[in-house]
Amino acid sequence: MAEIEPIADTVTSYFYALLFLRHPGLRDLFPAAMDTQRDRLFKALLTAATHADDPVTLTTYLTHLGRGHRKYGTLPEHYPAVGEALIGALSRHAPGTWGPRTEAAWVGAYTTISQIMIDAATEDELRAPAWWQAEVVSHVMRTKDIAIVTVRPDGPYPFLAGQYTAMETPWWPRVWRHYSFASAPRSDGLLSFHVKAVPAGWVS
């Protein structure tokens, strides 16, 4: 990772170009603007590499990641394509350290990473849907740039006070934003969020 880190943007751009060239159908799983997505990919790889010798921390992190990827429509059969593009990008941009042993190590690491994520998603599928549909029922401006948005989900949405959730709007498909709940669980099942407008923000 030391050789890759200074050129992370180049590597991730090449990775996505390779992925979409070989598997164009996967492009629909990603947002139109890929700048933030590139940063997330490298952060995930760096985190996984950092905790490679700490299986408990690594498994916890990847389990959360695998569950979260359900909302993107990620399926088990997508992981080999991602791994193939990842190895292709790393081998091209890390010539100083790349060789058969390095490739074997990365293939082994990615196989482990992807299997943990697949298993986590499969287990989570038994407990909850990949996402909930919800209807906006109230929008109240509290200040000039902060609103309280209340929605009615299509089914019970369990959460605890202090937690947050990821939301997508129909205006910007595949762009997910994290929002904190504005209140504890309510008996009517409605969910409220504080939403702040930010300059040039697609959603908030």
Where in the chain does DSSP place strands (E)? 134-141, 146-153, 164-168, 176-180, 191-196
* Residue in this structure with the two tokens 């139109």, named with its chain if needed: 32
CA dihedral 22, 39, 46, 179 (to 10 degrees): -120
Q: How far is CA 162 from CA 158, 159, 196, in A?
A: 12, 9, 17
* Residue in this structure with the two tokens 């943007």, named with its chain if needed: 9
Q: What is the pLDDT of residue 192?
A: 94
CA distance 130 to 8: 30
Residue from 149, 152, 148 nearest 134 by CA = 152
Query: What is the residue-level pLDDT of the chain in tens, covering all 204 positions?
Result: 667 777 778 888 899 999 999 999 999 888 877 766 667 776 787 778 778 788 899 999 999 999 999 999 999 999 999 999 999 999 998 878 899 999 998 899 899 999 999 999 999 999 999 999 999 999 999 999 999 999 999 999 988 878 899 999 888 888 888 898 988 888 999 999 999 888 766 676
User: Which structural domains are found in the chain, ordered by start?
Assistant: 5-125 (1.10.490.10), 134-196 (2.40.30.10)
Q: What is the pLDDT of residue 95?
A: 78
Q: What is the pLDDT of residue 1?
A: 64
Q: What is the pLDDT of residue 160?
A: 83
Q: Is 127 exposed, middle or buried (0-12, 13-18, 19+ CB in 10 A)?
A: exposed
Q: What is the pLDDT of residue 38?
A: 67
Q: What is the pLDDT of residue 197?
A: 85
Q: What is the pLDDT of residue 199?
A: 78
DSSP string, 4-56: TGGGHHHHHHHHHHHHHHH-GGGGGGS-S--HHHHHHHHHHHHHHHHTTT-HH
Question: Which amino acid is located at 111 in the chain?
Answer: T
Q: What is the pTM of this model?
A: 0.83
Residues 150/138, Cβ–Cβ less than 8 Å: yes
Q: What is the pLDDT of residue 15?
A: 92
CA distance 55 to 95: 28
Q: What is the pLDDT of residue 20?
A: 94
Residue from 152, 129, 134, 154 nearest 71 by CA = 129
Q: 148: which strand partners?
A: 140, 194
